[in-house]
Amino acid sequence: MALRPLAAASLIAFALTLGACQDGTFGGGGSTRHLTPIPPKTLSLMQTKGMAQGDPILIRAYKKEAEMEVWKRGSSGQYALLKTFPICRWSGQLGPKTKQGDRQAPEGFYSIAPGQMNPNSAYYLSFDTGYPNAFDRANGRTGNYIMVHGTCSSAGCFAMTDESIAEIYAIAREAFAGGQRAFQFQSYPFRMTAQNVTKFRNDPNAPFWKNLKEGSDYFEALHEEPKVGLCGNRYVFGGADAAAGSCNPKVETLVAEKRDRDNQEIAALIAKGTAATRVVYDDGDQNPVFRKQPTSALASLGSQSEQDPAYAPKDYARHALGDVSRPESLAAGPREVEVDAKGRPVTLAAAEAPIPTKAAAAALARKDGAKDGKAGASPTLMAKQAEPAKPAAPARVTVADADSDPSAYGKVFGNLFGKAPAPAPATPAVDAALPAEPAPVQAVKSAHAAAHPARKAPASVVKSAKVEAKVETKPDAKAAEKGAAAPAKN
C-alpha cells in the first residue's frame, strides 16, 4: 500500500514532464539511436562545401518561417550554411518565452554544451536550448527544459521529426568530437530582414527584436559567431569586449554598414506606405512541407529539391510525424492584422473614434440650419430636431482591445500585451461574431429620436406641452447628470 502514493507521484511527474516538453532518461535508456551516423547525402554536401564532420557548428531557428539552419565553420574561420531543416511544430506566438507554462518557444542567444544533449529522450533525441539564460533571468523570465527534439508535438519546444533530429544530433555529436566545447543556438521570431522589421515595427516586442537584430547583423555581416554579453537587461554583441561585459563593444565596419543599409531600406519602405502588421496564431505553426499535399503538389516539390539539395521538401513531406500537437490550431492558420503606432488593430482604432462634444454638435447644427435658411433658429429647437442615426460600428472580427473588451482581446491576442488576460481556448467561429459594445446613453437617445420623429400636434396641445416643459426641464437635467455620474455596474 505504501508504494501506491509513490507510483501515483511518479505518474504525475511523468505527465507533467511530457506536458512541459521536458525530457528525462525514461525514454529508452538502451537505445543506440544517438550513434546514428550522418547521412551519406549530407556528408557529400559537406565535401562539396569544403567542410569536415568535426568542424564547429552554429544553429539558427526562425519561428515564422518554421525553419532551422545548421551552419559550419570552415578553415577560413567563417561560417557557411550547411543545411536548412523545416520545423514540424512550434507553439505559442511570435515573441519570447516569459514564464513557465506559456507554451512560448524561446527567442534569444543560447549556448549548447555536450551535457545538454539527451540520447535517451522521450522525443527520440533532443538537446536542451539552455533557457533561461542570463538575459532571460535578468528580465524575470521563468521556465526550463525547453528542447529541440523529435516528433511533431510542441508545448514550447521546437519539434523537428525523428528523422531530422537524428541528423542534427549526429552533426552536433561529430562537432563535439572534433573539439567544439559548445555551439551557439540563435532563435528568432522571423528572419531579420528590413522587410520584416518594417512590417513588425509596431509590435510590443519590437524593441526586443531590434536588440536580437544586432546579434543577427553581426553574424550575417562577418559570418563569425558573435560573442554575447549582458548590459543591464539587454544583450550586447561583438568580439572579446562584449564577452568581457562591455556595454559599448566595438562595432565592426561591415556590421555598421549592414545596419545602415537596413535602416535606409526600412525608412524607404515606411515612406512608400508599408503597413505595420502583427501575425496572430491560435497556437504556433509548422512548415508547409509537413501538411498533407495532393500527389500533384508533391511532384512539383521535386523541382525545388533538385535546385537546392540542402532543402528537399519532397523528402520531408514523407516523414513519419506521429502525434501532431493541436492540429485544429494548425488548420486555423496565421492571421495578419494591420496595427497603428500603438500596436492596436487599425479597424479597432477607427471604430473607437471620439464622440463630438455638445458644443461641436451645436455648432454643426447651426451650420446646417444656416444652409437651410434657418440661421435664426435657437440651439434648443435644433437639439429637439431628429438627428440622423449613426452607422453601426464595424463588427469585431479579428480586433480587440484589452481595456474595453478583455474577453474578445484575449481570444484574438492572448497574452501578447502585458495587461491582457490569459489566453482563452481557440474559438475562431465565436471570435467572428463578437457582439458590439453598448452605445453611450446620449447616442441611444439620439438614435431613438431619429427612429421616432415627433408628430404634429394641435396648437393647444403644443402650448400645454411648453408649459410642462418649463416645469420639468430642470429636474430631468439633474436626473441625467446623476445617471451620467453613476458608475456602470457589470
Query: Cell numbers at residue 381, please?
Result: 429647437
Print burial letters for 289-322: b (CB count within 10 Å at least 16), e (below 16): bbeebeeeeeeebeeeeeeeebbbbbebbebeee
Separation CA 270–CA 201 (nearest Å): 10
Question: Is 34 one of the catalytic residues?
Answer: no
One-letter amino acid for residue 194 of the chain: A
The single residue of 21, 152, 157, 223 carrying the catalytic annotation is: 157
Could you confirm whether 149 is annotated as catalytic?
yes
Question: Of 149, 152, 223, 319, which one is the catalytic site residue?
Answer: 149
d(CA 11, CA 269): 55
Instruction: Give catalytic residue positions.
Output: 149, 157
